[in-house]
Amino acid sequence: MKICIFGAGAIGGYLGAKLAAHGTDVSLVARGPHLDAMRTNGLRLIDETGETNVRVNASSDPADLGEQDYLVITLKAHSVPPMVEKMAPLIGKHTTILSCVNGVPWWYFYKLGGDLEGTQLASVDPAGAQWNGFGPEKVLGCVVYPAAEVVEPGVIKHIEGNRFSLGEPDGQKSDRIVTLSKIFSEAGLKAPVRPRIRDEIWVKLWGNLSFNPISALTHATLDILCTDPSTRIVARNMMLEAQEIAEKLGVKFPIDVDRRIEGGAAVGAHRTSMWQDLDMGRPMEIDALVGSVKELGRITDTPTPTIDVVLGLIQMRGKVAGVY
C-alpha cells in the first residue's frame, strides 16, 4: 500500500513520521531546506514518548514517486489549486485522495443530495481546478485535530492530539476508508470513520471561521478572545450566522455555540494559525475559513452581516501586509 503526503510541513511531517515508523510505504513531497534535511538526516519526530528518526522517500518532484494508492494533501487550502497539475503523476485510476485541509472542502456538495448537488465553490476551488483535476469521486473527507510545528528543517515537534476523523462524502463505510482507517490506527493514530463527516467539519470550522480572523486583527490569544465581552460577542454572532447556513444544508451540531467558545477559551494563551501566518508574512487561509462561509450564505440565501464585516477587515489587513 503506497501513501504519498503532499505538503510535508508540520501536520504532513507528523503523519509521515508516524506512518513510516510503523513500516508503511510512505513518501513525502516537500521542498527547500526541509527536504534537504529529510534526505540527509531522515525525518525526526519529537513527541511525548521521546524522539523518533525515520528514513523517508522524499522529493520535490511527484514524478519521482509514481502512482499512489492514497494521496494525502496537507497543504494550506489556498495552496492546493495551483498544485493540481503537479500532483498528476501521483494519481492513477484507483488512487484515493485524502483532503486534510481546513475550512469548507471544495467537494462539499458532492454526494450531498438535494437541489445543490454538484454545486462548486469558487472561494475554495477557483475555476474548478480540483473538481475537474482530481474528480470528487476520488476524495475522502478528513478533519485534522493534531497540533504540531516544524522546529527546524527535518524536525517535527508534536504538541497535542492524534485524531484524523475520516468520512466518505456519501457517508458510506467503504473498503477504501476502512483500509485507510486501519493503516492510521496501526500507526498509533485515531482515525474514526464518521457517517456524517460534514457535521464534524462544521464544528471545527465554527472556531476557525471566527477565532482566526479576530485574533489576527486584534492579536488577542484564545483565552482573552473567548472571554472578553467585546470579542466574544463578535465570535458568537459569526458562529450563529454559520450555524443557520449549516442547518439549512442538513448539518446537526452536537454542541451549542457557547460550549464551542468555552472550548476555545480552555485552550489557553494560543496564537491562531492565521495570526501566526500574518506575523510570518505567509498567505492566510482567509477564503477557505471565512470567504467560503460567506459564499455558502449567498447560496443558501442566508444573511451574514457579522461575517461580512470581519471578512472585509481581515482581507484588508492581509492586503496591507502583502499576504492576501
DSSP codes of every residue in 119-154: ---TTTSGGGHHHHHT-GGGEEEEEE--EEEEEETT
Which residue, among 104, 129, 119, 113, has the nearest Cα to 299 in the 3D structure? 119
Residue that has been written with the C-alpha cell 450531498 in this structure: 112
Which residue in the list 173, 204, 252, 294 is annotated as catalytic? 204
Please classify residue 145 by burial: count the beta carbons closer than 10 Å to its beta carbon, then call 0-12 exposed, 13-18 middle and 19+ buried: middle
Active site includes 204? Answer: yes
User: Judging by DSSP bridges, how do beta strands 164-167 and 139-144 pair with one another?
Assistant: antiparallel
197-218 helix and 305-321 helix, angle to the nearest 10 degrees: 60
- DSSP assigned state of 75: S
Phi, psi of 208 (to 5 degrees): -60, -40
The string over 208-239, giving b where at least 16 C-beta atoms fall within 10 Å of a residue's C-beta and e elsewhere, is bbbbbbbbbbeebbbeebbeeeebbebbbbbb
Helices and strands counted in the chain (H then E)? 13, 11
Give the neighbor-by-neighbor strand order of the sheet with 96-99.
57-59, 25-29, 2-6, 70-73, 96-99, 139-144, 164-167
- Active-site amino acid positions: 204
